[in-house]
A and B are shown apart, each in its own frame.
Chain A
Amino acid sequence: MYYDNFVLPFTIGLITLLVYLCVRYYKWIRSFPKIDRIKIRRGLFSRKTLVSIKEIFMESLLHHKIFKTNPVLGYMHMTFAFGWFLLIIFGKIESMVYHTSAFNPPYFAIFFRYFHPAKETFPGSETFAFIMDLILSFLLLGILLAVIKRFYSKMFGMKRTTKQRPYDLLVLTVLWLIFPARFIAESFSSGINGGGSFLTHSAGEFFATFLPLRNLSYGAWWTYSSLLGLFFLLLPFSRYMHIPTEIVYIFLKNWGVEQRKQYNGFSEIQTNACSRCGICINTCQLNNSCDIKDTQPVYFLRRLRNHEDFSVQSENCLLCGRCEAACPVGINLNAIRLSTRPDLTRVTKETYAYIKPKAQAETPAKVAYFAGCMSHLTPGIIRSMQEIFDKAKVNYTFIDEEEGVCCGRPQAICGNWKAAKVLMDRNQERIESSGAEILVTSCPICYKTFKEDYTLKIKIMHHTEYIDMLLQEGKLPLHKNDLKTVFHNPCELGRGCGVVDAPNHVLEQVSQRIPTRYDGKNSLCCGGSLANTVIDSQQKTKISTDTVKAYSAYQPDVIVTACPLCKKTLGKTSTSVPVKDIAEIVAAS
C-alpha cells in the first residue's frame, strides 16, 4: 500500500476542510428565504447548472473578467487558479494511469513523485512528467508575479493593492510556499532517485551537487504535506475561502437566488466569494477624488467577514454601483451594503399620517407625470417636460405639482425600509388614483424605486425613455442642432436600471453627441448621491469637480444629464460648461 505518515497533515486538512465547508454552506443555504430555496431545488437539474459550470470555468479558473479589465492581474489569478487546477487534474490522471484504477486515496496523486519509484515507467510517464513540470513552472511564475505585485503594484496598472491583515499575510505566505515546497520535494526525490522532467530533474541534479539530499528529502515531503494541510485548515478563515465559495455562489446566482433587503446567508456567501482582487478600489470615486481608502467593497466585505465594526463603511458609499459593475465575481455589492444599514425608523399609525390620499381622477389622463422632489429645485426640467407633453399633444396629469410625496427611496437607501414602505404605499395610492396608463418621472431615483419596490400595474418610464418613445413614434417634431453634447448617465438610471440606449438615441437625434469612455454603465457619479451620509459637502464637491473635469475634457458645449440631483450637483461646480437635463435639450431643439 502506498502510504507514509507524512500524508497525514494533508489528509486531515483536506477532510476537515470539506466537512467544514459542507456544514457552513448548509447553514447558509438553510437561512435563505423559502422562495430562494425553492429556486435552488428547481435550478439544480436544469440547464442553469451547465451554464454555471461554464461560468465557473471561465471565471473561477480562467478569470476571464479580470483578464479583460487587467491582463497582467488576470494572468496572475489564472496561473494560480487554473494552474493549480491543471496540476490536480493531470496529477490525478497520471496517478490513474500508473495505478490503472480511478480509486486511489486523494493524497496519492498529490504525492505521486514520492510514491512512484522513478525507474518504473508506465505509459506516457515521460510526457506526464514533462506536463507536470510545465504546470509547476507556470505556477511558480504566477507566484513570482504575485510577489512582485505585493511589493510593486503599479506594474499591474493598479493604483494600489489590497491591504492585508497579519493573518491573511500568514495564509498568503503558506499558499506561496506550497508550490516552491512541492518543487523542492520533487526535485529532492528526483535528485536521489531520478525521474521528473526538465524542471524538477534538472533542479534535483543541481541540488545533489551540494546538498545531502537523502537526509533532506523526507523532510521536504513532510513540509509540502504540512503546508497543504495547514492551508486547508486556515482557508475557511482567510480570503481563500473565496475559492470554494465563488463556485457555490455562481451556482446559486444562476439558479436565481437573490440578494434581498436583509443581510442573510446569501449575503454571507457573497461576502465570502470576494477574492479581494481590488478592482473595486480603482473604480471607486471616493478613492480617486477624496482619497478615502477604507470603504471600498474589498475592505467593507472583509470587515463584514471578520466581524469588525463596519458602521462607518456601511454608510460611506455613494451606492453609485461602479464597483458592482466592475466586480469580476458579480457580487451584489450595493444590495449587500444597503442590507447592513440599520433601520432607524419605528412605524406607528402616526407615521406619515399627514399624507392624505388623492381623490380618484374622474377623467384620467393617459400619462401621469411625477417630477420628483428634487425636480422642483430645477424648474427648467419640469417646464421642459411640460413643453414636450404639449408639443406631443399628450394628455397628462401632473401628480406632484403642488403637494408631492417623496418616492421613499431616500429613506430606503438609508436602510429605513419600514418608513420607506409607508411612504411607498401612500404614494402608490396617490399615483394609482390618477388612473393613468403610463407613469413618467424625471427623477431616476424615483424611477428605480417605482420599478423595483412599488407594485404599480402601469407602465413606468423615465423621461429619457418616454422622450425616446415619442421621437420614435414621430410625435415630437425634431430639429437636430450643432450642439456638442456629452451624456452623464445618472447612476440610478444607467447602472441602476439599465437605461442606456434611450438617452443616447435621443441625444444623437437632437445634438452632436460626443461618445466618451464614461458612456453607458461606465458613467461617473456626480457626487451628490443621497446614499452617502459620511462625506461632507466639500468632499461631494470634489467628486463633482472631478466628474465635471472628466466630461469637460471632451470639450462639449453642454454636459447633459437626466437627473435633477445630478444637474444640481454638477451645475454647482461646472462654471464654464453648462449642465442641462436631456429634457431641456429636447424642449429647446
Chain B
Amino acid sequence: MNLEGKQQVWKDYQKEIADDRYYYARSCIRQTFFPGSEWAYLDILKNKLGKDVLDDPRHTTCTGIGYHSDVVPVQTIMTVVARHFALMTEAGYENITPSCITSFGIYTEILETWAHHPEIEEQIREYLWKATGREFKKPKNLAHTSDIIYKFREDIAAQARYKLVDVHTGRQLRGVDHIGCHYAKMFPSKGIGGAEFPAVLSGMISSWGGDVVDYPERRHCCGFGFRQYLVMANRGYSVANSKKKFESMRPYEPDFIVANCPGCAMFLDKWQYTISEMEGTTYGQDGYGIPVLTYEELAGLVLGYDPWELGLQMHQVAVEPLLDKMGIAYDPEMKYRTKEGKDIGRPKCPTYLKV
C-alpha cells in the first residue's frame, strides 16, 4: 500500500476541531461498558492537557439507539439534542463533544438537516420552547471525543510513559482500528481522514509508536445494527459481521484492536468470546483473543494509567498479553477486586478463549 497516496487523501479530510472549552455529551453504552474510559478521557483532558471540559449532570441520553431502532421519531430526537445544545449554551460553551459515534452521527445529521431545511430547525426550536422553555445556539464546533484525542495525540505522545512497541523485541505493535460506521460514512468530510482511509485512530496509533494494519474488511460494520443486536433473535447477523472482520484481520496477527465507538468496542470484545464458545475459534495468539481497547484506554495505557482503574478487567478478551508486550506493570491480584481491595469473586473461565 502506498502511504503517500493515503496522506494525499488525509490532506483532503482535515476537519476543524476546537482548541478548548468542550461541552461533554456522554454515551449510554460507553458509561455502561467503559466507565473507566469516560473518566480517563476527562482526566486526560483536564489534568494532562489542561483543557476546560464540562461534564454536565443534567443532560440525558440523545435517544440515538431508540432512534435507530425506529421507536423514537426524528422530531423527538432533534428536540432532545436541541435541549443538549440549550444546556451547552446556558453553560456558556460552544463546542460540543459527544463521546459516542451514534450520538456524533446524529448530531452531525441534525445540524446538516437543519442547514438544508431551516424550517425544521424552527419547528424544533418551537418544540423545545414548548416542552422546556429553553432556547439554544447551535454549537460552533462539533467533534467526537476521539477527534479531541487525535488533535492532541502528539501532546500525549510527549507525556507518554509507554509506547506501542514490544519491549522485548522492539517490534512496533500492530494495531487495527475500527472507527464505527456513523463516524464518517454518512458525512465523510466530518471524519478525520474521511470514510475510506480514516486517520482518527490510526493517527493515534502511529503517534504512539504503533503500526497500523489496513486489512480488507477494515471499513465493514461491526454488526451492531441496533435492532439486529438488541433483539435476541437477530444476533446471528450481529456476530456474523464481526466474525467477517476477525477472519479478515487474523492473517495480519494484530496485537490489539482500537475502536472509536463504545458499541463497536464492546461487540468486538464480546463476540470473540461468543464465537469461541460456538465454534471453538479464537483469533489472537496462543488461544487468546485480540485485545480490544477504546482509544481512551489506549491513551490511558500510553500515559501510564493503572489498567484496572481504566476498567480493562471489564473486557472479556484478556488484555494481559498486550500489557506484557508494552511492558506495563500491573497487579494481577487486583484485577477483580473493588477499589477498597475487597474480594468479590472472579468471572468464570470461558471454554476455549484463554483469559
> In the complex they form, do A and B come into direct contact, defined as C-beta atoms under 8 angstroms apart?
no
